[in-house]
């Protein structure tokens, strides 16, 4: 497992590119996918340390991804535009969850996770 490897799963490519750029500036290796179903295989093959997971995705949503991964899953920071889904996804097994529009809070959460891992 690459301890600095982040996978972003979001159907909004502009959002993916913005996060990818910010994370790379912080020194992380970043990949992104726009499709939920394709992400399962990539997570299992590459075993990223952290996944930023949008809840609303084509073909397979964030809830289904977490359920399919089971207990053997990376650290997951879920994002959604709905507070209702934020509370639900945390109960499903996401480690953290944020409102999607709060971009800086998501960046900070990722940075804090890796800081704790290297301490």
pLDDT in tens, 70-86: 988 999 999 998 888 88
Entry pTM: 0.92
**Alpha carbons within 13 A on the beta-carbon side of 39:** 34
pLDDT in tens, 104-119: 999 999 999 999 888 6
The residues, ordered by sequence, that sit 6+ positions from 54 with a Cβ below 8 Å of its Cβ are 9, 10, 11, 12, 15, 62, 78, 79, 80, 100
């Amino acid at each position: 497992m690459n301890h600095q490897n982040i996978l972003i799963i979001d159907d909004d490519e502009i959002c993916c590119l913005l996060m990818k750029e910010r994370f790379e500036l912080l020194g992380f290796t970043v990949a992104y996918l726009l499709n939920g179903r394709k992400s399962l295989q990539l997570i299992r093959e590459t075993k990223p340390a952290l996944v930023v997971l949008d809840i609303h995705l084509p073909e397979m949503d964030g809830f289904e991804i977490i359920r399919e991964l089971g207990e053997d899953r990376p650290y997951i920071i879920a994002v959604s535009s709905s507070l209702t889904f934020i509370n639900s996804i945390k109960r499903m097994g996401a480690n953290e969850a944020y409102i999607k529009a709060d971009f800086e809070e998501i960046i900070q959460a990722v940075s804090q996770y890796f800081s704790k891992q290297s301490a």
